[in-house]
C-alpha cells in the first residue's frame, strides 16, 4: 500500500473512534435484487427521511440563531428532533444499516446526501 | 510505516475516489462482490424497481408520480 | 467481460506492462481495459486497481473510471467512447496536466465527541444548540481550510460529511507541479489552527472531476 499522505496531523493514532475495517468503510449501495428488495427499499426510504430530517434540523437551527423562535419552541423542536434521531437509529438497527449507508449513489448525479 | 488509523484514512480517501468518483458509464450494473454490494443502480432502474414494488404491494400506491 | 481503468487521448503512449492493460481506441479517445479480476473486494484489490491507474497517470492525462465498471467486450468499449465522446473529451480537457488532492478536516480530539442524547440526557434546547455548534464548526472549517485551498486549485468539490467529528471532506484539482506547494499550504493552515486536524492525501487520478 503506497503512502498517499501529503500531510497528516501529529497524534492521528488517537482519532477518537477507531476507524472501521474495510467492510464498514465500503458503502453499501442500493440493491434492487428482488431478494434484498425489502432492505434496499428500507435504505431508500430511510435515506429520504434522513435527508428531510437534516434539512428541517438545519432550518430550526437557523431560526434559533436569528432569534425567531421562543425558548419554548426551541425546547419543543429540540425534543422532537432528538426523538426523531433516536427513532432513526432504531430503524437503522432494525434493517442492519449504518449512518453511512443512508446515502444514495445516483451514478452521474453523484450522491444524494 | 503508517499506523492503522492512517492506513484506514488513506483507505477511506481511496474508496471515496474509486467507488464515489470516476467516470460513470450510465445505465450499467457494475461489479457486485460477495457480501459487499457494489451494485449501483442507474436512476431508471431505481425508478423501475420502486414501480415494481408498488405493483406488488410492497409499497403503498404512490399515484402517478413515477 | 472486460474491466475499464481509464479513458485517455488517442494516440497515447504505450501503456505499462501491468495487469494486462491494453488500449481500445475510438477516434481521438481510447479506453484502457483489462480482464475482469474476480474475487472479493478487499483493500488490496482496490489498491491494486489504483496502482494500475496511477501507473497510467505517470505518462499521460487520464479520466479514471469508477471501480468495478465492466463491459461485455471491446466493441462495447468503443461504442461507449463514441456515445459519450463530447463529454469525455471535455472532461479530459478539464483535467489536463492536473491531479487530485484530497483533504479532510476533523475536530481536535478533545472536541470530537459531540454529546448524543443516548450518551447523556439533555434538554431539547441543549440538543439543538449542540447541533448548531456542529454546524458552526463545519462552517468554520470550510472558511478556514476550504476557501484558501480552493483559491489555490483549478477546481474543487466538497462532499457532505458523514462521520462523527468530521468537519470537511473536499477534493482539489491541482496542476501536477503544484502538489508540494499545496501540501505546504495545508501544513501552514494546520499550524495556525490547532482546534482542527487536517489530512491531505494524493496525488490521485482526478476521480472527482471526471464526471459530467
- ipTM of this complex prediction, to 2 decimal places: 0.84
Range with the poorest average pLDDT among B44-53, C46-55, C90-99, C135-144: B44-53
Q: Which residues of B touch A32 (CB under 8 A)?
A: 39, 41, 45-46, 49
Per-residue pLDDT tens for C56-103?
999 999 999 988 888 889 999 999 999 999 999 999 999 999 999 999
Using the CB atoms, write b or e for B42-58: b if 16+ within 10 Å. Answer: beebbeebbeebbeeee
Q: What is the DSSP letter of C74?
A: H
Mean pLDDT, range C107-134, rounded to an integer: 79
In Å, how far are A1, A88, A98, C121, C133 from C130, measured between CA atoms?
Answer: 39, 18, 22, 13, 5
Percent of chain A whose predicted confidence (pLDDT) is above 70: 65
In Å, how far are A47, A89, A97, C16 from A86, measured between CA atoms?
Answer: 15, 5, 14, 52
Q: How close A56 gets to chain B, by Cα (Å)?
A: 23
CB contact under 8 A, C183 and A100: no
Q: Is the pLDDT of residue C163 over 80?
A: no
Residue of C125, C163, C204 lying closest to A78 (CB–CB) = C125
Query: How many residue pairs from chains B and C have C-beta atoms closer than 8 A?
Result: 101
Interchain contact A77–C (C-beta under 8 A): yes
The CATH-assigned architecture of domain C98-209 is 2-Layer Sandwich (3.30)
Mean pLDDT, range B30-49, rounded to an integer: 42
CB contact under 8 A, A15 and B24: no
Interchain contact C153–A (C-beta under 8 A): no
Place of cell 497517470: C57
Interchain contact A113–C (C-beta under 8 A): yes
How, if at all, do strands C29-35 and C22-26 pair? antiparallel
Residue A64 CB burial class (10 angstroms; 0-12, 13-18, ≥19):
buried
| pLDDT averaged over every residue in chain C | 91
Interface chains of chain C (3 or more CB pairs under 8 Å): A, B
Per-residue pLDDT tens for C102-120?
999 998 876 655 666 667 7
Structure confidence at residue B66 (pLDDT): 35
Interchain contact C38–A (C-beta under 8 A): no
More confident residue, B32 or C73: C73
Assign B36 a pLDDT band (cuts: 50, 70, 90). Answer: very low
Assign A51 a pLDDT band (cuts: 50, 70, 90). Answer: confident
Domain count, chain B: 1
Is residue B9 one of the residues assigned to a domain?
no
Q: Is the pLDDT of residue A98 over 50?
A: yes
Residue B33: which domain range? 25-66
More confident residue, A40 or C71: C71
Q: Looking at chain C, which residues constitute the CATH 3.30.70 domain(s)?
A: 98-209
CB contact under 8 A, B21 and C208: yes
Per-residue pLDDT tens for C38-59?
877 778 888 999 999 999 999 9
* C7 grid coordinates: 479513458
Q: Who contacts C159 (Cβ-Cβ below 8 Å, separation ≥6)?
A: A111, B16, B20, C169, C170, C171
Amino acid at each position: 500500500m503506497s503512502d498517499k499522505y501529503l500531510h497528516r496531523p501529529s497524534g492521528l493514532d488517537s482519532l477518537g473512534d477507531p476507524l472501521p475495517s474495510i467492510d464498514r468503510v465500503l458503502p453499501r449501495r442500493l440493491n434492487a435484487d428482488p431478494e434484498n428488495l425489502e432492505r434496499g427499499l428500507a435504505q431508500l426510504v430511510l435515506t429520504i427521511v434522513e435527508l428531510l430530517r437534516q434539512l428541517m434540523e438545519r432550518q430550526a437551527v437557523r431560526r434559533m440563531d436569528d432569534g425567531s423562535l421562543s425558548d419554548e419552541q426551541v425546547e419543543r423542536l429540540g425534543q422532537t428532533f432528538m426523538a426523531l434521531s433516536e427513532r432513526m437509529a432504531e430503524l437503522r438497527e432494525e434493517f442492519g444499516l449504518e449512518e453511512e449507508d443512508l446515502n444514495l449513489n445516483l451514478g452521474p448525479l453523484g450522491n444524494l446526501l | 510505516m503508517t499506523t492503522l488509523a492512517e492506513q484506514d484514512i488513506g483507505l477511506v480517501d481511496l474508496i471515496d475516489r474509486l467507488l464515489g468518483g470516476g467516470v460513470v458509464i450510465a445505465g450499467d450494473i457494475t461489479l457486485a462482490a460477495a457480501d459487499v454490494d457494489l451494485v449501483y443502480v442507474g436512476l431508471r432502474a431505481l425508478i423501475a424497481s420502486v414501480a415494481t414494488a408498488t405493483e406488488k404491494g410492497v409499497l403503498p400506491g404512490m399515484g402517478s408520480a413515477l | 467481460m472486460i474491466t475499464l481503468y481509464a479513458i485517455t487521448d488517442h494516440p497515447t503512449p504505450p501503456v505499462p506492462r501491468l495487469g494486462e492493460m491494453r488500449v481500445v481506441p475510438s477516434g481521438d479517445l481510447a479506453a484502457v481495459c483489462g480482464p475482469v479480476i474476480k474475487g472479493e473486494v478487499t483493500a488490496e484489490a482496490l489498491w491494486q486497481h489504483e496502482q494500475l491507474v496511477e501507473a497510467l497517470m505517470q505518462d499521460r492525462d487520464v479520466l479514471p473510471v469508477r471501480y468495478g465498471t465492466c463491459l461485455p467486450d471491446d466493441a462495447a468499449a468503443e461504442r461507449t467512447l463514441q456515445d459519450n465522446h463530447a463529454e469525455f473529451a471535455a472532461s479530459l480537457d478539464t483535467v489536463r496536466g492536473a491531479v487530485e488532492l484530497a483533504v479532510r478536516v476533523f475536530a481536535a480530539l478533545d472536541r470530537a465527541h459531540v454529546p448524543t442524547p443516548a450518551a447523556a440526557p439533555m434538554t431539547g434546547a441543549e440538543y439543538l444548540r449542540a447541533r448548531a455548534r456542529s454546524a458552526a464548526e463545519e462552517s468554520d472549517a470550510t472558511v478556514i481550510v476550504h476557501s484558501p485551498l480552493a483559491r489555490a486549485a483549478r477546481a474543487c468539490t466538497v462532499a457532505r460529511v458523514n462521520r462523527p467529528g468530521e468537519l470537511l471532506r473536499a477534493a482539489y484539482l491541482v496542476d501536477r507541479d503544484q502538489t508540494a506547494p499545496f501540501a505546504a499550504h495545508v501544513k501552514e493552515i494546520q499550524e495556525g489552527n490547532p482546534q482542527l486536524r487536517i489530512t491531505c492525501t494524493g496525488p490521485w487520478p482526478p476521480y472527482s472531476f471526471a464526471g459530467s
